[in-house]
Chain A
Amino acid sequence: MIATAVSSGVVVLVGAVFLACAVEMVEALTIVVAVGHTRGWRWALEGTLVALLALGALVGVFGPALIHVPLSWLRLGVGGVLLIFGLQWLRKAVLRASGLKAKHDEDAIYASLVTELTSTPSVAKRDQVAFMMAFKGVFLEGLEVVVTVLTLGTSAHQLFLASAVATGTVALVAIIGVLVAKQLSSVPENAMKTTVGVMLISYGTFWVGEGLGIHWPGSDGFLALLVALYGVGTFLVVLVTRRAAALVVAP
């Protein structure tokens, strides 16, 4: 029973960090590949490396600091952040699944970035435009991963595990990107985003409840029930939204 409870918490944590990291890194990879192909790999990789160092420093500074926050306050704050984040991810995923928002098209984003980069001349020895675009792309996409890793990792006392999963996923996506030498457009991004959203609001609900003093039935095992409940709930919201969209198109 205890083993099952512990493993369900760890499985949700590892799954959420892995999928969030994979989705964000696929988006970052599109930007880096576009910069590398049009302005040279030196600036693309330099911008990427500096962004990764900055993100690593954020984890290094805020990770140990967060451990000193009283546990109930930490869980309440972390739960709130995870709920906001997860609901934002789910909202976009539901709108895309219902056809009310265009799906994230890495090919179109790549083409638009290449056009933008080739129309900006590089006069200086140091290509600041290329460096900044790679840096911003990796830093902004990576920041969501850092917040997810810090919040999930510290509140579950699994910061090392969460950081290791995130680092491994970044390396995996980077290796795949190098091997195929292009943006990863065939990744089922919306399904992954939906799964991450469900996992984030599950953990968010769990920690908010714990922070407020709720004792969930079955302890950590209740997380699995929350994941199932939110999975069904999200599916129903997609169905209702599709129906609302269809009623307007064909009255």
Chain B
Amino acid sequence: MTRLRTWLRAFGQFWWDFFVGDTPELFVATVALIAVTAVLVHAHAARSVATVLLPLLVIGALLWSVRKSWPKR
């Protein structure tokens, strides 16, 4: 049982590191931008807004993550 738990924990840790790793902000940003787009698409009037907004949010997520590594002044 303990061995199984250890194996499951290691398995989960491996995939967490693989998909999230040291950039959790990119994971959070991706989930957030999908959620925002889903809300806009659900409100049919805002569907065209979502078409334009989604790529801009992706660039914003990249800038946010890169900005975290900018040297402090």
Residues of A within 8 A of B (CB): 76, 79-81, 83-84, 87-88, 90-91, 94-95, 100-101, 143, 201, 204-205, 208-209, 212-214, 216-217, 226, 229-230, 233-234, 237, 240-241, 244-245, 247-248, 251
Least CB separation from B37: chain A residue:
A212
Structural contact, A84 and B30, CB atoms closer than 8 A: yes
What CA separation (Å) do A245 and B71 show in the bound complex?
6
For the residues of B in contact with A, the DSSP-based class is: helix
Task: Tell me the B33-71 residues at the A interface (CB within 8 Å).
Answer: 33-34, 37-38, 41, 47, 50-51, 54-55, 58-59, 61-63, 65-67, 69-71
Interface residues on B, range: 20 to 34
In the complex where A100-B70, A229-B55, A234-B62 touch, is A84 in contact with B47 (Cβ < 8 A)? no
Residues of B within 8 A of A (CB): 18-21, 23, 26-27, 29-31, 33-34, 37-38, 41, 47, 50-51, 54-55, 58-59, 61-63, 65-67, 69-73
Contact residues in B for A91 (Cβ distance below 8 Å): 23, 26, 62, 65-66, 69
Structural contact, B63 and A240, CB atoms closer than 8 A: yes
Contact residues in A for B55 (Cβ distance below 8 Å): 205, 226, 229-230, 233
Contact residues in B for A226 (Cβ distance below 8 Å): 55
Structural contact, A201 and B58, CB atoms closer than 8 A: yes
Least CB separation from B68: chain A residue:
A91
What CA separation (Å) do A107 and B31 show in the bound complex?
38
Least CB separation from A204: chain B residue:
B58
